[in-house]
Amino acid sequence: MNAEEKRLFDPLWKKWGPYLSERQWGTVREDYSEHGEAWDFFPHDHARSKVYRWGEDGIAGISDDMQRICFAIALWNGKDPILKERLFGLTGSEGNHGEDVKELYYYLDNTPSHSYMKHLYKYPHAEYPYADLVNINRNRNKYEKEFELLDTNLFNEGKYFDVVTEYAKDNAEDLCIKITIHNRGNETAYIALLPTLWFRNLWNFGLMDTKPTLRLQEEEKNYGTIKVEHPTPGDYHFYFDNPVRTLFTENETNTARLYGQPNPSPFVKDTFHTAVTENNFEWLSEKKDGTKCAPMYEFNIVAQSSVTVKLRLSKQPHQQNPFDKNFDAVFTNRIKEADDFYAVITTAKDKDLINIQRQAFAGMLWSKQYFNIDIPRWLNGDPGQPVPPETRKKGRNHDWPTLNNEDIISMPDKWEYPWYAAWDLAFHCVPLSMIDAGFAKSQLILFLREWYMHPNGQLPAYEWAFGDVNPPVHAWSCMQVYKIDKAKTGQGDIKFLKRVFKKLLLNFTWWVNRKDHKGNNVFEGGFLGLDNIGVFDRSSAIPGGGVLEQADGTSWMAMYCLNMLEMSLEIAQYDDSYEDVTTKFFEHFTYIAESLNRMGADWTGSWDDEDGFFYDVLSLPDGRYIPVKVRSLVGLSTLFAVLVLKKETLKKLPDFYNRLKWFQQYREKNNDYLVIEELNEHDDILLSLVPRKKLERLVKALLDEKEFLSQGGIRSISKIHEHGYSVNIDGQEFGLDYQPAEGTSALFGGNSNWRGPVWMPMNYLLINALQQYCEYYKDDTKVEFPTGSGNEILLSEVSNEIAKRLVSTFQLSDNGHRPVNDNYAIYQDEHFRDLILFYEYFHGDTARGVGASHQTGWTGVVAELINRIS
């Protein structure tokens, strides 16, 4: 094992990491309003002045794993009305396409133990355009693009600073910090830097008996020292290059500014903002301790040059200079060890692909965040604090009284989605397992624990509505992580599979009991994470008072059956007591497949033989069935449910194999639907929701550039709906059209669009499914790629071609352009060219990034795809 791999066996190395959120304001956790108006209750304008209850935020920040001690950078260019202490963005109502961060920052590097971390923030010389970003976006309609920070032209001609923050651990509790500020412009420019250390305020909420202290050590040295005294993580020592001045205040709410009530003390959370922007430090000069501190540096940086500030946070005191030659050696060693670690992970040879993958992994690791909420306490309030409105006890999340979370969790995007999302997390764990299988497995186990899972078996969705229903992909992720880990180590972690299998049974049962109202193995489920993909909101009241029998809801459950079957088969090879349950999942899958495919006088299945596609079906109270003929991922999701039972496995499990054959023969005698098309002794067996003839028709649509196939992957809705689709339900028209980028409706907040764009996780599932099909059919199936081109390739090559298109979204083209960057010319500049952003989704025609700009989360699966195509 290399040095970084060894560190993963010592949990202490993860005590400190990038666990600080990038946005704590505007979250449900911090919302104590009467009607759940999170954005308005705690806006960005309050964040600098008001104490947070459930966590902290900052730029390029770190904290301990319980978020007691926090560190981040603050900046001032001499022109802004406030310090740049946290990232700014639009709220849900301010943006023409919902909430959106309006900053330029990049995750450049990170290791799983966080032994080395590197972050880049770009800060303009000119005044930051807070008002313009709000007003211009607010006045744009939903058919217009968002007004971005780059559209202000503030970064033209290099008129900005590149602020690079690096962390390198000498040991698990000795963090070397280096902040380098580059002036990219052609003129000298002023900047103030305040590397800020503070305590999370727990004392005001009855959670601490003793208030912690940051205390300046008055010593005549060429560096400064602050003693960090905290009863929980213990004492630390904060060292820093000698500053212009060292500032102290208290992490306390500025009640005078926010509520017009006198402050008990002048030393409040936003003191540094006032002192720096007004150039008034005299009143702070005598304060030498507090709960928030910052050494302040001021520079006039010459054109095209840089300055560096060194800091160190250490458990053990340094008797000698903490910034001697060993300090620089720590960075040199950790960077080399990071390179050695990733050299083993990647199979790519191309430098651009290696860079893309490295930044994808960096984004995954920087997106780990401390998340804390205790629902009973959140609903009822804290001692000594204002009592929350009584309406909360019947409002959002009141029916999750057992949920109590305080963990480090992989977030979708630490600004736009600084809260976990259960089905996103399932995809995060795939690339995470390539670099830290232990963390990936612990995340999957965590969500099945009793303080997350509802007593009825449901997994929590996200803080906006823990009871929302997301696709059941947890079992799928468990198997993917297991396989990746087994391929790497040569040994399967059966103990892990057993742990998750038992809890997944509870969740599977919840799905069966709650989402199959008619008991006919056709499932509903609601929007299922695909937000606005339907002609109406699939989570609200269904038109005509009917039930929407969803092709994707049914497909997800079929896939869930096969995931559980595969898991039980794997465990049964080591523990034969699990062999009994395998048949249950095989038979349940058969019934679901029959329901989806069956056609008859008394039954309307999801398959439309004339169109060659699967659709949702609206079942009305009067017995009518109305198919909703939208060609979308809803129909393509039927491809996800596929599993090849290898003959080698079947030989090891003769009881299961015999029961399988008996069940197949029984159904054959009764002329029932057969899920196994070919059952030959000693051959592999294909279990698929989609029979071969239907598969061929679906693949034809999938690979048609006039329908689903785009330059950047598979679209979420077919392009044939460019001119719209509508359906009449009891005299009322419901419709949609193909929207390749931002959505044009406010459904689900308007910042997410499933009516055309390419979504990386769904493409990843399609690629995996196609590989299963080709594993069974091998080289006897050829298809046109693209459809109508006359170019025939093996089915086994199709998944690889789709993967290449997905990866190409981030690659430099011959003209030096990356499709993801939307033709912004500045990304051809040397200081932008190699920076990668991993967006939430991508334009269905051009592949430009859309939605959340730092959702390395599930878009991070591109890291695994790079290894596949390399």
Per-residue pLDDT for 33 more than 70? Answer: yes
Q: Across residues 706-730, what is the average pLDDT?
A: 95
Mean pLDDT lowest for which of 31-40, 367-376, 518-527, 791-800? 518-527
Give me the pLDDT at residue 536, please.
79
Smallest CA-to-CA distance from 26 within 98, 82, 105 is with: 98
The mean pLDDT of the chain is: 94
Question: What is the structure's pLDDT at 621?
Answer: 87
Distance CA 439, CA 434 (A): 10
Mean pLDDT of 660-689: 91
Q: How far apart are CA 562 and CA 765, in angstroms?
A: 14
| pLDDT over 50 (residue 603) | no
Q: Is 149 exposed, middle or buried (0-12, 13-18, 19+ CB in 10 A)?
A: buried
How far is residue 265's CA from residue 263's CA, in Å, rounded to a whole number? Answer: 5
Q: Report the pLDDT value the prediction gives residue 515, as an integer from 0 to 100.
A: 61
pLDDT at 529: 62
- Could you tell me the CA-to-CA distances from 517 to 271, 537, 659 in Å, in that order? 58, 19, 29
C-alpha separations of 593 from 582, 587, 638, 665, 691 in Å: 17, 10, 10, 17, 10
- On whether the pTM is more than 0.85, the answer is yes
Does 325 score more than 80 pLDDT? yes
pLDDT at 605 (0 to 100): 66
pLDDT digits (tens, 9 = 90+) for 106-127: 999 999 999 999 999 999 999 9
Q: Does residue 816 or residue 362 have the better pLDDT?
A: 362
Of the chain, the percentage scoring pLDDT greater than 70 comes to 96
The confidence score (pLDDT) of residue 48 equals: 98
pLDDT of residue 602 exceeding 90, the answer is no
* Cα–Cα dist 272/254, whole Å: 12
Q: Please determine, for residue 749, whether its predicted confidence score (pLDDT) is greater than 60.
A: no
| pLDDT tens digits, one per residue of 143-175 | 999 999 999 999 999 999 999 999 999 999 999
Reply yes or no on whether the pLDDT at 526 is more than 60. no
Q: Given pLDDT bands bounded at 50, 70 and 90, which one contains residue 619?
A: confident
> By mean pLDDT, which of 94-108, 473-487, 507-521 is the weakest?
507-521
Give the pLDDT band (50/70/90) at residue 85. Answer: very high
What is residue 677's predicted lDDT score, i.e. its pLDDT? 87
Give the contacts of 485 (CB within 8 A, at least 6 positions apart).
433, 437, 440, 441, 492, 493
Over residues 698-709, the mean pLDDT reads: 98
Residue 520 has pLDDT above 70, yes or no: no
Q: Is the pLDDT of residue 569 over 50?
A: yes
Would you report the helix, strand and coil content of the chain in percent, each value rounded to 5? 35, 20, 45
Predicted confidence (pLDDT) at residue 25 exceeds the cutoff of 50: yes
pLDDT of residue 521: 67
Which H or E run contains 595?
A: helix 579-597
Summarised one tens digit per residue, pLDDT across range 241-292 is 999 999 999 999 999 999 999 999 999 999 999 999 999 999 999 999 999 9
Strand partners, 17: 63
The pLDDT of residue 64 is: 98
Q: Are 40 and 432 in contact (CB under 8 A)?
A: no
Kindly provide the b/e burial profile for residues 794-814, where b requires at least 16 CB atoms within 10 angstroms of the residue's own CB: bbbebbbbbbebbbbbbbbee
For helices 494-514 and 474-489, angle between their N-to-C axes, nearest 10 degrees: 170
Give 597's pLDDT tier (boundaries 50, 70, 90): confident
pLDDT digits (tens, 9 = 90+) for 45-59: 999 999 999 999 999
pLDDT in tens, 652-668: 999 999 999 999 999 99
Q: Three-state DSSP class for 733?
A: strand
Question: What mean pLDDT do residues 389-418 have?
Answer: 96
- Look at residue 517 in the predicted model and tell me its pLDDT: 63
Q: Which pLDDT value is given to residue 700?
A: 97
Of 21-25, 443-447, 539-543, 643-647, least confident by mean pLDDT is 539-543
With cut-offs at 50, 70 and 90, classify the pLDDT of residue 212.
very high
Q: Can you give the pLDDT at residue 604?
A: 54
Average pLDDT over residues 358-368: 98
What are 429's two structure tokens?
Answer: 């764990």
3-state secondary structure of 59: strand
- What is the model's pLDDT at position 552? 80
Which tokens belong to 368?
């780990």
